[in-house]
Amino acid sequence: MPISTVTAPAGTPTAGGLLARAGNGFSLAVLSAFLLAFTAIIIRVLTEQYRLPALVLAFWRAALVAAVLFPVLLCVRPQWLRLSWARLRFYALFGLVLALFNALWTFSIMLNGASVATILSYFSVGFTVFLGWACFGERLSARQLAVIGISLIGCALVSLCGSAGAAHTGLFGLLIGVLTGAGSTLYALCGRLASRRGYPEWNTILYVFAFAALYQLLFNTVAGHLPVPDGSLTGSLWFLSRGEAGIQWHGWGLLLLLAAGPTLLGFGLYNLSLKTLPLAVANLILSLELVFTAAIAFVLLGETLTPWQLLGSALMLAGVGLMRRTTGAKGEGVRDQRASPGAAAACAGAAPGKPPAA
């Protein structure tokens, strides 16, 4: 169900009312972080256990989000299905950014694992500040430069200091992970622009994911003519229905869960938490996704981090915290957004005051 806009009543609310609303917002933000943590876990299972190619997975994730959301809006908010020509062109570009981000995010999980891929995605915080300087002339302070350096060091430690079995993907995995962070940043910038234009959030989500699915279909077709080894990147869209075991219903169920759960519900709850929590507080709570992902990956997938990777994780988390503190002093928050994919994406067209998703 779409998140309704809550209008504050006239007068000053009581302290007890504020505390109750803040407590509810905190719970929603924690639950959102927990749900979003399953994004990387589900993708890891689909690519490892079911051998689902990355681009095929990215296509179905986007397509199913649109397929789930369309009938809901048709029944609940049919006016949010309307689309102007100007908005259509913007959504087409936004969908391309989402498609690229989702493909990179899925491939990063295949190369680096669920927990490491999630950690690497937090590099987007430093990259966002860099883009602010490069595109909008925002000056970087000495502290901000130091924070970017800390994030880079942590990023390298996480990707290059893993187990010997994963060493062959180190440099390439690092590159894909950093590009994922860059894609997350571009996606956040598009979402912020949609927010400033006042586009309805669920209208944005529906059409951006629909366009992303079309682009993913094109990517999968083109990649099918490239010399990609072992079919890990591209394949038949009906991959889960053409194996020796027949239709893999559990695999299709996981795909649907990925779309309707972490992607829509996770970021929907995060948007809802922003009604009662300051943006900085909500984003700080959302960082728990990193901890949840590592813990769930350890329990369900047996993934572990080496001591050097733990150090790198700590450095990147420190960089995220310092960056939020630095930008918070200026009245602006730098947000990490994954299209996560994801995503990930129910915040893509958030109303003013709400961040876009990744």
User: For the packed helices 307-328 and 142-160, what is the interaxial angle rounded to 10 degrees?
Assistant: 160
pLDDT at position 169: 55
* Whether the Cβ atoms of residue 337 and residue 356 lie closer than 8 Å to each other: yes
Confidence label for 212 from pLDDT (cuts 50, 70 and 90): very high
pLDDT in the model for residue 66 = 92
Cβ neighbours around 230 below 10 Å, total:
7
Mean pLDDT across the chain, nearest whole number?
A: 71
Of the pLDDT bands very low, low, confident and very high (cuts 50, 70, 90), residue 346 is very low
Structural contact between residues 35 and 347, judged by C-beta atoms closer than 8 angstroms: no
pLDDT (0 to 100) of residue 4: 32
Query: pLDDT tens, 67-99?
Result: 998 999 999 988 888 888 889 999 999 999 989
Q: Is the pLDDT of residue 153 over 70?
A: yes
Q: Is the dihedral of CA 214, 217, 222, 226 positive or negative?
A: positive
User: Which residues, in sequence order, are CB contacts of 291 under 8 Å at separation 6+?
Assistant: none
Segment 166-192, tens digit of pLDDT: 444 567 777 888 788 778 778 767 776
Q: What is the pLDDT of residue 242?
A: 67
**Dihedral sign for Cα atoms in the order 141, 142, 148, 154:** negative
Instruction: Calculate the CA dihedral of residues 337, 261, 91, 203 and round it to 10 degrees.
Output: -120
Concatenate the DSSP letters of all residues of 68-123 into one string: HHHHHHHHH-GGGG---HHHHHHHHHHHHHHHHHHHHHHHHHHHH-HHHHHHHHTT
pLDDT digits (tens, 9 = 90+) for 29-61: 778 888 888 887 888 888 888 878 888 888 988
Task: Count Cα neighbours of 355 within 13 Å in the Cβ-side half-sphere.
Answer: 28
Q: Which contiguous run of DSSP H or E holds residue 200?
A: none
pLDDT above 70 (res 10): no
Percent of residues, the chain, with pLDDT higher than 90: 9
pLDDT score recorded for residue 128: 61
Asked if the model's pLDDT at residue 358 lies above 50, the reply is no
Higher pLDDT among residues 122 and 297, named by residue? 297
Which regions of 123-282 does DSSP assign to beta strands (E)? none
Assess contact for 127 and 337: CB atoms under 8 A. no
Buried b (16+ CB within 10 A) or exposed e, 330-343: eeebbbbbbbbbbb
Would you state the pLDDT for residue 71?
93
pLDDT tens for each residue of 246-284:
677 788 888 999 988 888 887 667 766 766 665 545 555
